[in-house]
Structure 1
């Protein structure tokens, strides 16, 4: 009879803690999330900023002059992807020494402008 009592006590304790957690979750309001407004990119400014990108990424015709290994095509990529990639290089969470060095000089507005221009290319 003793194992049955222990099991019953355990079940009641577990049920009480679940009910208590559910009540606390319902009583506590969710914290307000204030997302920063998205920065609108200017493609005309982005075109000027991407001049050095052409050396490796070969935006015109997607042919790179240097280096002679695979470099990703950036023209025509989505603005969201380009913004994310450049931001990650800038923060250091995406690793590539040249791209990290390039992105360090860009403001958030510069990154939005670059993404706006490159995403318009075919």
Structure 2
């Protein structure tokens, strides 16, 4: 009886895992589509040497030339609360996975524009 319950639990787990894996689709970004989605980003990330004052003083990195996957993961982190910055959370919360991928590709296609960019 115990073996049957264990096997049944394992079957349910594997089924749920397979379903989750099947629904996760890698979103491909489009830099051209991203161009129309970055208006809210440029106000901070488009100004060399810009520092925020709220909620804390923070040196805002330029995003041009940054790795697309890094930007996408960062936006997801802000959206789900893994990264703590209220302004970015509020902005990222409104973005779809496709929006994030497009924005990431847009910035990755740009020329590196700041020493704040660790990848370039």
Band of TM-score, shorter chain: 0.5 to 0.7
CA shift for structure 1 position 57: 0.9
What residue is the counterpart of 2:5 in the other structure? Answer: none
What are the Cα deviations for residues 77-97 of structure 1, in whole angstroms up to 9, with x where unaligned? Answer: 111100000000000110001
What are the Cα deviations for residues 38-74 of structure 1, in whole angstroms up to 9, with x where unaligned? Answer: 111111111111112111111xxx5266747510121
Match of 1:73 among 56, 62, 78: 62
What residue is the counterpart of 1:24 in the other structure? Answer: none
Moved over 6 A (4+): none
Match of 1:63 among 48, 58, 77: 48
Secondary structure at the counterpart of residue 52 of structure 1:
helix
RMSD of the TM alignment (CA)? Answer: 2.4
Instruction: Give the total of aligned pairs.
Output: 92
Give the TM-score, by structure 1 length.
Answer: 0.65
Unaligned runs of 5+ in 1: 1-27
- For the pair shown, which has the larger CA radius of gyration, 1 or 2? 1
